[in-house]
Structure 1
Amino acid sequence: MPHAIDHPAPSPTTELQAQLALHFPQRLLEVAGGRVTIRECGTGPAIVLLHGIGSGSASWLEVARELGQSARVIAWDAPGYGESSPLRSLAPDASDYAERLLQMLDALDIQHCVLVGHSLGAITATAFASGVQRQRISRLVLISPAQGYGHPARALLRKEVRNKRLHALEQLGITQMAEQRSRYMLSPRASVKAHAWVQWNMARINPEGYRQAIELLCGEDLLRHSPLSMPCEVHCGEADGITAPQSCQDIASALGATFSLIADAGHASPIEQPMVVASQLALALKKSLTGASL
């Protein structure tokens, strides 16, 4: 009898890309500033997800699949990421990103939502939630928030971080950066699939969008956008080596927000612990609908 031919198992990213197309498809919105690419699934009350500097909308895939059972889930590609148009300014601030977010919400006719910001996305989320359109945000959720380096006391660190990131971009390029930096996004116990998905998302960053995001990170201070008028909660992976738990707890205290740790997770908790993150966001959505203050 002929021997059966062993076919190699599909890679984790191949399987996740297939799920992405099927369960969390991408579409393009035309807005005044150009275009915004989003991924969307589900129906019900809206929850909007903003990714970090080393990521994109696809990073929310498994969180979105779970949340989409009871909510309308939208994840954007930030300006200059994916097929989203970059911002006009070479050194944009949070108000520029918040304006693009407003254009997206208008295009989708979203008048009320829970707004979620991960890492650098937390700066845009907080800026929007403290702005003139704050009434649209029923609850703010920050996951491993980056504070930024815009405070005068962080001037030396700001210069160091900016130079280091720009140098890495020029010397390594996006692909090598993804290979080297992706491991720092996860806890030591992260799965092969989580490592592969973090790297896949990071490898798809556009240099122009990344340069603008560096300027946002280095020029902004999340806490300058406080106080907030809506309930806020902060979560952080217990093994986060990028935005450490203590710094996230300090941000929570400054914002008057609740704080919790996510077990067995590093910085990229939406990829490493998607079911836990989805449960937290589902609870935040439920609280937003019942008017809970905590």
Structure 2
Amino acid sequence: MMHTDTLAPEPSPETLQLLDSRFAERSVQTADGVQCYREAGSLPAGGTAVVLLHGIGSGAGSWLHAALRLAARTRVIAWDAPGYGNSARLQPASPGAEDYAARLHQMLDALGIERCVLAGHSLGTLMATAYAHDLGKKRVARLVLLSPTRGYGNPALAERQQAVRAERLRTLDEVGIAGMARTRPAKMLSSKPAPEALAWVRWNMERLDTAGYRQAIEMLCNADMARYAPAPVPVEVHSGDEDTVTVPANCRAIAEMFGAPYGSIAVSGHACHIERPEAIAAILENAYAAATAGAAPN
């Protein structure tokens, strides 16, 4: 489905109050600098946490409504990736997914998370698969990929890589973060998005850091998810049935690459965790139940 640019509204004061009161920003010091995250719920001794990694145009706050639905069950942690929010940027100007995975490892060490269900959205799925493939293979009990992107690091995609990099950098230079946040949220959602969803995409996008976003563009262009398949942990893949960014056919192909089950999320565009937080919470609750029961993928 095609979307036209629509001026997104501002989020309600009630949503922002909920964010501040129940999913407030926190930080931890890592070897590579300050790492910020949001947290809800609590973790029983020896329990399994849920860890959430956002996409390229978003941030930790985007998980608010899904995280609060999960908080009664366990500890839920959503990070602001390096270069996002108040998290320290990575050192390389052109980082790989492994660089983000290394910071994730440091953060989870610092937070005392020994076991988790790891969920990534969009660009976050590259970070998640890189982490589970190597540093996190003993920590990640189950991997949930939402609206995954394969990346453009395959040499066969060299021309596409150049086009994607050029288009994203041109948009950033021409309209800036503020312009992107005002006009692009509709592209992230279904054909008939709710104003609240548009507002929440906008709010999270407005908080992008230009330098951090440029690093993330480089990672998107450098990475190839095929490097991390097969995974050493159970994997499942889900995407919106109206996703025009990581289209369903491509998400199914990623599921096949991992030998993983694929699920379609009804009435949802790319930002499925914002548009359908109740559906995402249910997916993550099932993943948590499977991980804690030692069950195989559905």
Same fold (TM over 0.5): yes
SS of equivalent residue, structure 2 residue 246 = coil
Cα displacement (A) at 1:229:
1.4
Cα displacement (A) at 1:225:
1.0
- Which has the higher mean CA deviation after the structures are superposed, 12-21 or 73-82? 12-21
Choose which of 240, 245, 251 in structure 1 pairs with 2:243.
Answer: 240
Choose which of 254, 257, 274 in structure 2 pairs with 1:271.
Answer: 274
Alpha-carbon distance between aligned partners in 2 of 1:176 and 1:272, rounded to the nearest angstrom: 21
Contact preservation (8 Å) 2:119, 2:125: yes
Pairing of 1:142-291 with structure 2 (within 5 A)? 142-291=145-294
Gaps of 5+ in 1: 1-9
Q: Identity of counterpart residues, as a percentage?
A: 48
Alpha-carbon distance between aligned partners in 2 of 1:146 and 1:97, rounded to the nearest angstrom: 16
Runs of 4+ in 1 over 6 A off after TM superposition: none
Choose which of 89, 95, 101 in structure 2 pairs with 1:92.
Answer: 95
Aligned position for 1:3: none
Partner AA of 1:247 in structure 2: N
SS of equivalent residue, structure 2 residue 138 = helix
Aligned position for 2:82: 79
Aligned position for 1:4: none
Cα displacement (A) at 1:239:
0.2
Measured against aligned partners, the alpha-carbon deviations of 1:247-278 in whole angstroms (never above 9, x if no partner) come to 00000000011100000100001000000100
1:30 aligns with 2:29: yes
- Which has the higher mean CA deviation after the structures are superposed, 10-19 or 41-50? 10-19
Cα displacement (A) at 1:14:
2.1
Alpha-carbon distance between aligned partners in 1 of 2:135 and 2:51, rounded to the nearest angstrom: 18
Choose which of 62, 67, 70 in structure 2 pairs with 1:64.
Answer: 67
CA RMSD of aligned residues (A): 1.1
Alpha-carbon distance between aligned partners in 2 of 1:87 and 1:12, rounded to the nearest angstrom: 30
Number of aligned residue pairs? 285
Alpha-carbon distance between aligned partners in 1 of 2:126 and 2:144, rounded to the nearest angstrom: 11
Structure of higher CA gyration radius = 1
Contact preservation (8 Å) 1:117, 1:142: yes
Partner AA of 2:178 in structure 1: T
Contact preservation (8 Å) 1:13, 1:197: no
Contact preservation (8 Å) 2:272, 2:280: yes
Cα displacement (A) at 1:94:
0.9
Cα displacement (A) at 1:11:
5.8
Alpha-carbon distance between aligned partners in 2 of 1:264 and 1:43, rounded to the nearest angstrom: 31
Alpha-carbon distance between aligned partners in 1 of 2:260 and 2:16, rounded to the nearest angstrom: 35
- Which has the higher mean CA deviation after the structures are superposed, 131-140 or 117-126? 131-140
Cα displacement (A) at 1:245:
0.3
